[in-house]
Amino acid sequence: MKKILLLTLLALPAAAQKKGPALARPKLVVGIVVDQMRYDYLYRYWDKFGSGGFKRLLGEGFSYESCHYNYVPTYTGPGHTSVFTGTTPATHGIVGNNWFERETGKTTYVTEDKTVQPVGGTLAAGQMSPRHNLTTTITDELRLATNFQSKVIGVCIKDRGSILPAGHAASAAYWYDGSNGGFITSTFYTQALPDWVQKFNAAGHAAEYLSQPWNTLLPIAEYTESTPDDVTWESAFKGEDKPVFPHDLPKLSATPSAAVKATEKASGEKQPLAPVRNLDLIRWTPFGNSLTADFALETLRQEQMGQRGQTDFLTISFSSTDYVGHQFGTTAIETEDTYLRLDRDLARVLDALDKQVGKGQALVFLTADHAADQAAGFLEAHRLPGGGLGVAPLRDSVQQALVRLHGPGKWILDFENQQVYLNRELLTEKKLEMAKVQNEVAEILRLQPHIAQAISATDLQRNAWPVGLSMYQANGFYAPRSGDVLFVMSPGWLEAYSYPVIKGTTHGASWAYDTHVPLLFWGWHVRRGESNAEVKIVDIAPTVARFLHIQEPSGCSGVPLTEVMK
């Protein structure tokens, strides 16, 4: 009897058989990265935030209060890549925003790709792709898991903040070209901008934002979380006498940008798409974030993301926080104002997700690609340890020491990312052992003021480094692209390329002020609460993979954070 029943069931058409429950996935994943956001900004500006942005994410979502980067250098390119690949530069190969290529003898840019052409923008801005990333991203894995039916789109003013999160298999990636004031892409993704992107660009949103002065959102006297408006360590805009409010954006943007001028010089003719104004200026204002939010919301609507029966993935990176932080520092009124305005832009994004995708139907995470040190001038003014370490004088000291040891010659080919690239051909010519000279350079650096550690690439690769400064260096080291000697500056000390005049701040170190960033999850199947457990930035991608029931990225070294899941 049982055999007859089983045979009868097997003979039924598929539609007549009882179906199991459908696989539960969010309709949309939104990965938000805030460029140069320190963890403490969440609470520094708490009293000034509205209820719909950061406070909503914290109140309705889950916060990891001790999320850190676990490598150096902490820069934008490696940061975005590590978030979405779930691994460190030692595996994905993005060791900096730029690095020295020994094969060509030149420095390359993180998303530079001369094999592709711009779509909608200039040659310099548009020859970009993710080809330097050596592993898949969580966005790639979603595309693979759905047989490329999911849409994955990256949006950012910076090319690297759009391209690297969107991955190799992205449906699209868009970034901003200040020479024409529009969002562009490259032939890596498509041969022509969609009509809706062309219409968005033609509307002149960037010019509209720059048509009025940048004044504070609140009365300036209420910015009690920030230092006074006029301090010596902030950098004024070109054309300003002082770095103070209001910033006259119509006047400051009145002359063409350097990008426009360079394109006109190269071509010998006026650019037909080029505006008279410097629309690139919007990057250095909070309105660059607002423009990004505008474009992201238009992307949601026009591409019907989260409404097509498949899980889609939108990556949004807000970059103006980084530009403003570099120029004014971490305690400036400009920085606070930028975050207060970003809070409102986040509220717009969350409201749009509720309306378009449905409440609780989108999975959102928010983090940062790195944090930032205090401005050197601020530290000095308050007698705190730290300052600016001149990169050029440090490089020259090493070069001169090598000349004294081994005679004349160009011993250093490049000096960036807190790494020294030696002239290996010269070492061969002089019959010098590589490891010996590397250790000499490490010793020279260790004797310099404000250098906490220096180690040769040979020693770094010969040993395992589970903890300590060398662990950060090992995780950030990829031999074909990294230098021969790596060093770490003392806490509070930052690379000062404009030494001895040091304005604003920067990042890149292994200390907590650069590695400690927010990590918030919100929305679909996210448990409300917080955790003080130490987690790593590389844990984000495998956590999203667990939410989606898909494979983690190919080089993933992080672990799923199951505590956040209902």
51-99: pLDDT as tens digits = 999 999 999 999 999 999 999 999 999 999 999 999 999 999 999 999 9
User: H/E element holding 43?
Assistant: helix 41-44
Residues of the chain above pLDDT 70, percent: 93
In terms of CATH architecture, what is 387-496?
2-Layer Sandwich (3.30)
> Does domain 28-375+512-564 correspond to CATH entry 3.40.720.10?
yes
- Whether 16 shows a pLDDT value over 50: the answer reads no
Report the catalytic residues: 76
- Whether 313 shows a pLDDT value over 90: the answer reads yes
What Rg value do the Cα atoms of the chain yield, rounded? 25
Q: What is the pLDDT of residue 175?
A: 98
249 close to 202: Cβ distance less than 8 angstroms: no
For helices 434-446 and 391-406, the axis angle rounded to 10 degrees is 130
> Of 522, 539, 523, nearest to 63 (Cα)?
522
Q: What is the pLDDT of residue 140?
A: 98
Residues of the chain above pLDDT 90, percent: 90
Average pLDDT over residues 391-404: 96
Q: Is residue 161 very low, low, confident or very high in pLDDT (cuts 50, 70, 90)?
A: very high
- Whether 265 shows a pLDDT value over 90: the answer reads no
Q: What is the pLDDT of residue 566?
A: 86
Average pLDDT over residues 491-519: 93
Q: What is the pLDDT of residue 258?
A: 53
Q: Is residue 18 very low, low, confident or very high in pLDDT (cuts 50, 70, 90)?
A: low
Average pLDDT over residues 101-126: 97
Q: What is the pLDDT of residue 256?
A: 66
CA atoms within 13 A on the CB side of 481: 23
Average pLDDT over residues 225-248: 97
**Total-model pTM:** 0.93
How many CB atoms sit inside 10 A of residue 38's CB? 25
Q: Which residue spans of the chain are classified as CATH 3.40.720.10?
A: 28-375+512-564
**Mean residue pLDDT across the chain:** 94
Q: What is the pLDDT of residue 501?
A: 78
Q: Which residue spans of the chain are classified as CATH 3.30.1360.150?
A: 387-496
Report how far residue 243's alpha carbon sits from residue 282's, in angstroms, rounded to the nearest whole number: 16
